[in-house]
Amino acid sequence: MKVYVLEVPPIGTNCFILCDPDSGRCAVIDPGGGAEAVISAVEESACTPDCILLTHGHYDHTGAAKAVSEHFGNVPIYLNERDVLPDGSRALSQFPRVGGTQNCDEGDTISVGSLKLQVLATPGHSRGSVTFRCGDLLFCGDTLFAGSCGRTDLYGGSMDEIMRSLARLGALEGDLQVLPGHMEMSTMELERRRNPYLQQALRMYPGKP
Ligand SMILES: [Zn+2]
């Protein structure tokens, strides 16, 4: 497996292209803005997308999803339904409609070539925030950042829920690589040593994942 990362507008979101070079298939994770840059990066990877995966519904992660999906023949777009807001919601500016998304939730597995991505519900930054796990890679969106965690003051955010989600991620076993929705990459081992939010979460909820 191979991962490419590019920072996309409007506010520096990490868009990932997760490739299975053997099958020539890939997943595009969180294509924020900049559809053309995302499409060129996918073409350079020499892999064809099987799907677009959205860690949550915020505009800076979803902006180019539709355009990228259409460019590659309307590949499915996965987004947890709790981040698909009803008509008339006042938070639609934060969660603009992507349209035609398929739900993905706890316990689901999404195949990309021979790769299997496990869906973990990790609410708190938004109600529908999920983490995609592929082997030891955690695509955790805005739940866990290097040295920090996502904000909880936007629509559907909850400090208690993000703490439970962080505790759950922090208790996962393996040589886990943390690939967040913004800023630099990290590892879970490093985050357990230095991230005050993760440390507090693990003290509050010391159970198993
Ligand atoms: Zn967000």
Q: Which regions of the chain are under pLDDT 70?
A: 208-209
Is the Cα torsion angle 177, 156, 203, 183 positive or negative in sign? positive
Contact in structure between 155 and 124 (CB atoms under 8 Å): no
Contact in structure between 80 and 155 (CB atoms under 8 Å): no
Residue 95 CA to ligand 1 center (angstroms) comes to 9
Q: Between the CA of residue 72 and those of 4, 6, 16, 54, 111, what are the distances in Å? A: 18, 19, 16, 16, 17
* Cα within 13 Å of Cα(107), Cβ side: 0
* Cα within 13 Å of Cα(41), Cβ side: 23
Kindly list the domain boundaries of the chain, sorted by start residue.
2-204
The whole-number pLDDT of residue 164 equals 97
Contact in structure between 146 and 112 (CB atoms under 8 Å): no
Residue 22 CA to ligand 1 center (angstroms) comes to 32
Report the C-alpha gap between 13 and 8 in whole angstroms: 5
Residue 54 CA to ligand 1 center (angstroms) comes to 11
Q: Which CATH architecture has domain 2-204?
A: 4-Layer Sandwich (3.60)
The whole-number pLDDT of residue 208 equals 66
The whole-number pLDDT of residue 206 equals 87
Residue 67 CA to ligand 1 center (angstroms) comes to 20
The whole-number pLDDT of residue 207 equals 73
- What's the pTM value of the predicted model, to 2 decimals? 0.97
Please choose, from the candidates 11, 75, 78, 5, the residue with its C-alpha nearest in 3D space to the C-alpha of residue 37.
5
Residue 132 CA to ligand 1 center (angstroms) comes to 15
Residue 130 CA to ligand 1 center (angstroms) comes to 11
